[in-house]
Amino acid sequence: MSRIILHVDMDYFYAAIEEHEDPSLKGKAVVVCMYSNRGEEGGAVSTCNYAARDAGIHSAMPCRLAKAVKPDAVFLPVRKPFYSEVSDMIMEIIRSYADNDGELFEKLGIDEAFLEVTTTSGGDLDKAQQIAQSIKDDVKELEGLTCSVGIGPNKIIAKMASSRQKPDGITVIREDEVDGFLRKMPVAKLWGIGKVTEEKLAGMGIDIVEDLAGRDVQELISVFGKIRGTWLKMAASGIDDDPVKEKTSSDQIGRMASLTHDTRKSDLVLSLLDELLDDVFSKVTARSVSFRSITVTVIYSNFKTVTKSHTLNHPMAEKALLREVSYQIMGELLDSSTVNIRRIGVRVGNLHENKGQKTLAEFF
C-alpha cells in the first residue's frame, strides 16, 4: 500500500490571525511587519494578506517601501508569542488526525506540518481527502482560520501540492500523476532547492524539473556531491522516502477558544476554561505524558493579550492540579483588569514521557 502524506499550510497565517481577532480588518490590505530598532520606518514585511499581495507587497519587502506601495494598508507589528499560542492549538488539531495515535506528525514551522494518514485512510485517496476536509473544518471552527492541504505519495509532492490551490484549497496528486505534476515545473519550485543550487543548475542548462530528472546521477554527484546529487535526481523523479517524523518532540499541548460574547463574568469564563482543560488533559492522557508548566492566555476585547504561567516542582499528570492552577491564574487575570475578555487559552508544557512517574498523592 502506497503512503499517503498530507501537508497542511495555513493561509497568510499572521495576517489571518489579525483579521480574525479584529473583524474590521476584513477586506483591507493587512501587512504584518517585523520592525527594527529604528521603529516603524525600519524593518521588513513578515507576511501580508492577499489584498496586500495583489497591490505588490510581499514578504521581506522593506516596510518603508511597502507603505509607499500601499499607503492605505493596515500595518501591524508582529505578535510572535500570540501567533505561537494559536499555532500550538492548530498543531494539536492536525496531530489528532495522524496515524499511530498522532506519532506520524511533523511540524515544519509555526504555520505548516506534515502528517501521514496511510493507515487511517486505508490507502484510499478519497478518504484522505475527507480527512483533509475535516482538518480544515476543525481549524476553521475552532480557530476561525483557513488552511490549504496538499495530498501526495510523499512529503515533497504533498508540500508542493499544498500551494497549488491557495487559499483554502485541497490538491490531490495521485502516484500516476506525479510525473505530469513535476515535469514542466521550474527547478526553483522544487521543494528543497535554494538560490545557490538553482544558479548551479542553470549553469548546467537545467531550468525545469524534466531536465533535472533526465540528467545522469553521476553528473549531478560530480557537481553537488554524493548526498545532494543523489537527492536532486530522486526529488526530480518524484521519489522521496523520508519518513514523517518530528525532528524534536512537541513540548506543549494546548487549546484556545472564543467566548460566545465578550464578558468578564467568571462563571462564563470558567465554564469555557473547563471545556479547554478537559480537552487538554485528554490529549495529555492519550500521549502518556506529564507536564511541568501550566500557561493561561487571555485576549481582551481591546485585543490586548496577556499570558501567565506557573511552573511545578515536578512533572505531573493530575487533572485536579491542572484545574486548580489554571483557575488560580485565571482568577488573577480577571482581577487585574476591568476589560471584557474575548478569548482564552490554556496549555501545558515541559512535557515528559510517563515512565512510572509519581502521582500527586505520592508526593504529599
Q: Which residues contact 106 (CB under 8 A, 6 or more apart)?
A: 113, 114, 115, 244, 245, 246, 247
Largest Cα–Cα separation, the chain: 71
Of residues 190, 177, 93, the one with CA closest to residue 142: 93
Half-sphere exposure of 159 (CA within 13 A, CB side): 20
- What does the block give as the cell for 77? 507589528
Of residues 3, 4, 8, the one with CA closest to residue 162: 8
Provide the 3-class DSSP secondary structure of residue 83.
helix
CA 224 to chain CA mean position, Å: 32
Q: Which residues contact 20 (CB under 8 A, 6 or more apart)?
A: 143, 144, 145
Residues in the chain: 364
Burial state string for 67-102 with b = 16 or more CB within 10 A and e = fewer than 16: bebbeebbbbebbeebbebbbbbbbbbbbbbbbeeb
CA 188 to chain CA mean position, Å: 23
Reply yes or no on whether 112 is catalytic: yes
What is the Cα–Cα distance from 128 to 197, expressed in whole angstroms? 34
Check 112, 116, 143, 318 and give the catalytic one.
112
Of residues 344, 241, 238, 230, the one with CA closest to residue 297: 344
Provide the 3-class DSSP secondary structure of residue 168.
coil
Q: Which residues contact 358 (CB under 8 A, 6 or more apart)?
A: 314
Cis? peptide before 167, omega within 30° of 0 = yes
Active site residue ranges: 112
